[in-house]
Structure 1
Amino acid sequence: MSTGALLQVADAHIAYGKVEAVRGVTLEVAENEIVTIIGANGAGKTTLLNAIMGILPFKGRATFAGTDIQRLEIEDRVAAGLSLVPEHRELFAAMNVEDNLRLGAFRIAKARAAQSLERVYTLFPRLKERRRQLAGTLSGGEQQMLAMGRALMGAPKLLMLDEPSLGLAPIVVADIFRTVGELRSSGVSVLLVEQNAQAALQIADRAYVMELGEFVLQGSAKDVAGDARVAASYLGF
């Protein structure tokens, strides 16, 4: 693994029982970088994110901000600056927007939490408008914004997003991805798992293509987008 990367994963093997879902994967995310992992459903993308977050065990090496995180609990990874927005958002539907957001700041001081809340409301003005509304009554796009906002409340250094465009209208997807670009400008790195390869490659700096638990291609987002196999399989060209 090279020096200077924010997140480094080397030779990751992840299994469900005797079935190996991810085999020998190595990846890096640098500071102020957007990296995307694209691939078909079932390729192992979500499994990899869950392992990095500590939800699943894996064999291999993983460091974050220079610290070995293999033995860290999920809460300690969050405290170190690593955060995950899961595919299904996992909001508390019976709680209002602001209470959901505040749950994301339980590990930081009240003063910092207040700053984080204002930052989230600046990124997502619609959440501020609906701060007293129950999370379960929000639209799909608003729920995705809330899930991202809750993750950002802990002031992460790296935000991992699992299929943020899933089930959303194109205009909402454009808003979400525009916000992802703004996060990089504010100093937050992003690891983006996405089936919408075209949208992901447009905003990413680098990309990995995952098939059947392995990376089959990696490089700059521009180069990956220009690969004939990627264009045919994922971009519809």
Structure 2
Amino acid sequence: MSFLKVNGLDASYGKIAAIRDISIEIEAGTIVTIIGPNGAGKSTFLKALMGLMPYKGHASFEGAELGRHEVQARVGKGIILVPETRELFSEMTVRDNLTLGSYSRRFQSRASIREDFDKVYSLFPRLAERAGQEAGTLSGGERQMLALGRALMARPKLLMLDEPSLGLAPIIVREIFQIIANLRSMNVGVLLVEQNARAALQTADFGYVLETGEIVMSGPAPDLLNHPRVMQTYLGGSTI
């Protein structure tokens, strides 16, 4: 059963339509990717799902319509977005950034939050090594790891990732995508927006191709990876 179901979603910037008639489904513990060129509307779609901009159409999570729920209410339901900009607190330490990630769970036991610190540090050993270091002093790859780790501290049910490979060296990209793949074992659903089509399709279970605001192709990720049009348009210069 799909725990995120989107049907006929439209979003606009003023009178300019950004995305039109988007319909997707995601099941718990699966990775779904949306690939496409710059300006196709990928990030806009994530913002709409997060409640950061208005939309028309239907989006339901765990069987309940998201409707006009504010961002905080969506976070409370377990929907977490890691934006392209990562939005870390640069002058705060790695540990404090992770602590902020658990804010929505502040009324839960300290033991459960300590347990999640251990899990994040196990996934990202470098964050454990730099726990007392200011986030602004980290490398690009470490900042992405911190953004992912902070999101996981909220115990997401649906993790939405906007261009996690942006600006990273190939060796770090491989590491980040391996960690994303491992989220299946935590039963976290992942909606991955990514320009590195090869990396995304090699990691995902199912994929959608978004062009000029509309879904033009969809299917199991291995099928898209081997589709002539996808290969010609998106895989020529993409490496992992």
One fold, TM greater than 0.5? yes
Indicate the TM-score class for this superposition, using the shorter chain for normalisation.
over 0.9
Cα displacement (A) at 1:214: 0.3
- Corresponding residue SS for 1:56: coil
Give structure 1 regions of 4+ aligned residues with deviation exceeding 4 angstroms.
Answer: none
> What CA distance in whole angstroms lies between the structure 1 residues aligned with 2:67 and 2:146?
29
Matched residue SS, 2:151: helix
Instruction: Determine the structure 2 residue equivalent to 1:197.
Output: 197
2:91 aligned with 1:94: yes
Between the two proteins, the alignment pairs up a number of residues equal to 234
Instruction: Give 1:221 shift.
Output: 0.4
CA distance in 2, matches of 1:189, 1:64: 11
Q: TM-score, normalised by structure 1?
A: 0.97
Match of 2:55 among 58, 66, 87: 58
- Could you tell me which runs of 5 or more consecutive residues in structure 2 were left unpaired when the two chains were aligned: none
Aligned to 2:114: 114
Counterpart-to-counterpart distance in 2, 1:17 and 1:161: 25
Contact 1:12/1:60, CA 8 A, preserved across alignment: yes
Q: TM-score, normalised by structure 2?
A: 0.96
Q: Secondary structure at the match of 2:103?
A: coil
The DSSP-based 3-state class of the residue aligned with 1:147 is helix
Kindly state the Cα deviation for residue 190 of structure 1 after the two structures are TM-superposed: 0.6
User: What is aligned with 1:138?
Assistant: 138
For the pair 1:73 / 2:70, whether they are aligned, the reply is yes
Q: After the TM superposition, which residues 12-23 of structure 1 pair with which residues of structure 2 at under 5 Å, given as runs?
A: 12-23=9-20
Q: Distance in 2 between matches of 1:167 and 1:6?
A: 31
SS in 1 for 2:166: coil
- Is residue 29 of structure 2 the alignment partner of residue 32 of structure 1? yes
Q: CA RMSD in A?
A: 0.9
Shift of 1:158: 1.0
1:183 aligns with 2:183: yes
Amino acid in the other structure paired with 1:169:
A
- 1:125-163 CA-partner distances (Å, limit 9, x unpaired): 110110000000000000000001111111001111000
In structure 1, the gaps of 5 or more residues are none
Match of 1:107, SS state, is helix
Cα offset, 1:111, TM superposition: 3.0
Deviations 1:173-193 (Å, cap 9, x if unpaired)? 000000001111121111100
C-alpha offsets along residues 80-121 of structure 1, whole Å, 9 cap, x if unaligned? 111010001000000000100110111112333222211111
Partner-residue secondary structure (3-state), 1:180? helix
Look up the SS of the partner of 2:53 in the other structure.
coil
SS in 2 for 1:168: coil
1:43 alignment partner in structure 2: 40
Instruction: Give the whole-Å Cα distance in 2 for the aligned partners of 1:112 and 1:84.
Output: 22
> In the aligned structure 2, how far is the partner of 1:157 from the partner of 1:226?
30
What is aligned with 1:230?
A: 230
The amino acid that maps onto 1:162 is: D
Using the aligned pairs only, state the percent identity: 55
Write the distance in 1 (CA, Å) between the matches of 2:64 and 2:50.
14
Are positions 1:8 and 2:5 aligned together?
Answer: yes
Which aligned pairs between 1:146-185 and structure 2 lie closer than 5 A?
Answer: 146-185=146-185
